[in-house]
Structure 1
Amino acid sequence: MNTAYLKAVSYYLPERVMTNAELVREFPEWTVEKVAKKVGIDQRHISAEDEFVSDMAVKAAEKLFEEHKIDRNVVDFVMLCTQSPDYFLPTTACIVQDRLGLPTSAGAIDYNQGCSGYVYGLAMAKGLVSAGIAQNILLITSEVYSKHIHKSDKGNRTIFGDAASASLISTEGLAEIGQFELGSDGSGFENLIVKNGAMKSPKKSAAEAEDMDDFLYMNGSAIFNFTIDAVPGLVENTLKKNGVSEVDEMDWFVFHQANAFMLNHLRKRVGIDSEQFLMHMQACGNTVSATLPIVLKNHWERFRSGQKVMLVGFGVGYSWGGTVLSFK
């Protein structure tokens, strides 16, 4: 059985920046300080009107190839995680394969997953490598959640930003991908949802009145309660599966960057020292499936040979997942 490694990580943020000051001008009942304190975010990047998931995916992948001197011709599988694809069909990953000029012998799939999507992608990529199906997998996360959010939804507009990440999973690399703890509970699916748009509940025609079910809805208190219930057990089981007895035996923790209040609550509840708990959301917001790779990229120089980094994703679905990266 082949061992799978995380070899390289890069990401792309759209040029448009929306600051808290700009939001406060739209919602004067808030202050810049209140937004920053509540969610831990000062600004977020917003995709242009004509910029979509495939565009950002291509830009993230091109950065990966350039920054890490990767020959694109070695890629033999493309995985693209998104909940805001260009089209219902075809698969956005196929569009990205063509635009990047990747070999036509490379497989390509989309998967619809949110805040746990990077961990799920690592799990599937490891499976492909371990089975000998692929040797160099381009794992992309790309979201334009801003296009799901109504302009009057100040809560979600303060939290979410757009971004794309690109990672290379290979038979050799800098960090060995460990064992996984994965889970789901679809009973909470309505608490984070874009209800209209697919086959069960199509959007109305442009001539009809605007329907708020066309946009992102989040039941914040329900999501918070789910997270507080699910994450401590997720961390404990991920430790066990990777042969680690105690939290303080892990060198670093990277949690999905939901919001600062939730993360601080989780960190204290699990018993993680603040020095071990890595974050990067102040300048880009909650970028859904891209949060984990963005944190990894911005703290990469901290990681030393022999260290272990736990990745923890959780959110829409509900779904959750954890794994450990062991640096060589």
Structure 2
Amino acid sequence: MEKAYIKEIAYYLPDCVVTNEDIVHDFPEWSVEKIASKVGVNQRHVAASDETAVDLAIAAAEKLFGNSNVDRQNVDYILFCTQSPDYFLPTSACIIQNKLGLRKSIGALDFSMGCSGYIYGLSLAKGLICAGIARNILLLTGETYNKHIHPKDKGNRTIFGDAATATVISTSGIAEIGNFSLGTDGSGAENLIIKSGGMRCPEKQNDLCFDENGNPVSSDYLYMNGSEIFAFTLDRVPPLVEDVLLHNTITKDEIDLYVFHQANKYMLNFLRKKIKIAPERFYDCLSEYGNTVSNTIPIALYNAIDDKTISGNFKVMLAGFGVGYSWGGTVLYFA
């Protein structure tokens, strides 16, 4: 059976940068220091009004092809993870195939996942390779969550950034993809949701109101129940880590680096301490990007490779968790 490897990673950020100073201008009751200390984000990139997740993903892919020895004509499958598609139909991955000038004799599909999306994408890519269906898969993630956020939603505006990433998964590369642990609990769906716009509730509800803390609540914009999401994360991620170790028959001490979904500083610190991971083995690159949803793990991986945090024969655990609820993890074996 073929093994699956990560071959190359690239990412793309929109030009517009929103700093903490910009946020404080809109919400003077906050301070730059408070945002940085509580959320752990100094700035975030935001897509332009006419810039979509597809545009960002195409830019990330072009960056990958331009900076590596990967030939676009060898790509035989596109997987595109987004919750910000251009259209209900057609499939965004089909549009991307045409825009990138890839062969027509390839597979292409979208999947709608959030903060666990990169893990799920790796699992799909590995499955395609191990089944002999594809040999070179272009896994794209792209999100423009800021388009879903109400302008007066100071909490979510401090957290989320827009971005896209491109990863080639192949039969050879820099890191072998290990075994997976995946999980789902749809009972938490309404704690991170945009209620209107789909077929269940197609029309905008125009039901904007403000809670006791002055935060907007609307069916037409992103709603996140922060306390419930935090509780879910603390409940599911520690067992996830144990299950990933079990599936890969290694111990916690054998993992050289842990790369978790970059949710927010407070949550990551709490998880690290709860799981008892040493700070030097826990990667954090949240401050310059924000929570970019399905993009956070590949952006962190790219930076950890680039700054030599990952070097030599490293074992790196990945863990994603969030909207759905969904969660997943795996181990990368760098040679």
Q: Does TM-score exceed 0.5, indicating one fold?
A: yes
Deviations along 1:25-82, whole A, 9 cap, x unmatched? Answer: 1001100000111100000000001000110010000011111121100000000000
Map Cα deviations across residues 84-136 of structure 1 (whole Å, 9 max, x no partner).
10001110000001000000011000000000000000000000000000000
In 2: Cα distance, 1:209 partner to 1:230 partner: 33
Residues 229 and 210 from structure 1, CA distance in 2 versus in 1: closer, same or farther, beyond 3 angstroms? closer
**Alignment match, 1:324:** 331
Q: Deviations over 1:241-272 (max 9, x none)?
A: 11112x22210000000000000000000010
Instruction: Give the conservation status (yes or no) of the 8 Å contact 2:53–2:144.
Output: yes
Pairwise CA distance, 1:281: 1.1
**Structure 2 residue aligned with 1:258:** 263
Residue pair 2:204, 2:219 contacting (<8 A) in 1 also: no
Query: Could you say what secondary structure the match of 1:240 adopts?
Result: helix
1:215 equivalent in alignment to 2:218? no
CA contact (8 A) 1:181 1:321 kept: yes
Alignment correspondent of 2:302: 297
1:148 aligns with 148
**Correspondence for 2:243 among 195, 219, 237:** 237
Cα distance in 2, alignment partners of residues 2 and 113 from structure 1: 26
The answer for the alignment partner of 2:254 in structure 1 is 249
2:276 paired with 1:271 = yes
**Aligned partner of residue 321 in structure 1, secondary structure:** strand
The Cα shift of 1:186 comes to: 0.4
- Give the TM-score normalised by the residue count of structure 1: 0.97
Residues 44 and 285, structure 1, Cα contact 8 Å, conserved in 2: yes
The counterpart of 1:310, out of the listed 304, 308, 317, is 317
Task: Name the count of aligned residue pairs.
Answer: 325
Deviation at 1:202, TM superposition (A): 1.2
Stretch of structure 1 that moved more, 141-150 or 298-307: 298-307
User: SS of the residue aligned with 1:214?
Assistant: coil
After TM superposition, give the deviation of residue 209 of structure 1 in Å: 7.1
Q: CA deviation at 1:203?
A: 2.5
What's the TM-score, normalizing by structure 2?
A: 0.95
2:207–2:219 contact (8 Å) kept in structure 1:
no
1:290 partner SS: helix
Instruction: Give the distance between the partners of 1:180 and 1:272, measured in 2 at CA.
Output: 20
Aligned partner of 2:131 in structure 1 is 131
Matched-pair contact (CA < 8 Å) for 1:138–1:167: yes
Query: How far has the Cα of 1:210 moved from its partner?
Result: 6.2
Give, in whole Å, the separation in 2 of the partners of 1:186 and 1:204. Answer: 24
Q: Render the CA deviation track for 1:250-303: whole Å, top value 9, x for unaligned.
A: 100000000000000000000100000011110110000000000000110332
* Partner Cα separation in structure 1 for residue 4 and residue 22 of structure 2: 44
d(CA) in 2 for partners of 1:61 and 1:130? 24
Instruction: Tell me the equivalent position of 1:178.
Output: 178
Counterpart-to-counterpart distance in 1, 2:8 and 2:207: 47
Unaligned 5+ residue runs, structure 1? none
- For 1:209 and 1:9, locate their aligned partners in 2 and report how far apart those are by CA, in whole Å: 42
Contact 1:248–1:272, Cα closer than 8 Å, also in 2: no
The SS at the match of 2:300 is: helix
CA distance in 1: counterparts of 2:321 and 2:207, whole angstroms: 34
Matched position secondary structure for 1:299: helix
Cα 1:323/1:209, change in 2 over 3 Å: closer
Code of the residue aligned with 1:231 in structure 2: it is V
Amino acid at match of 2:232: F
Query: What percent identity do the matched residue pairs reach?
Result: 59
Residue 90 of structure 2 corresponds to residue 90 of structure 1: yes
Tell me, in whole angstroms, the C-alpha distance in 2 between the residues paired with 1:133 and 1:69: 23
Secondary structure in structure 2 of the residue aligned to 1:137: strand
1:309–1:325 contact (8 Å) kept in structure 2? yes
What residue identity is the alignment partner of 2:275?
V
What CA distance in whole angstroms lies between the structure 1 residues aligned with 2:219 and 2:309? Answer: 43
5+ residue gaps, structure 2, are: 210-217
Q: Secondary structure at the match of 1:213?
A: coil
1:96-135 equivalences under 5 Å are 96-135=96-135
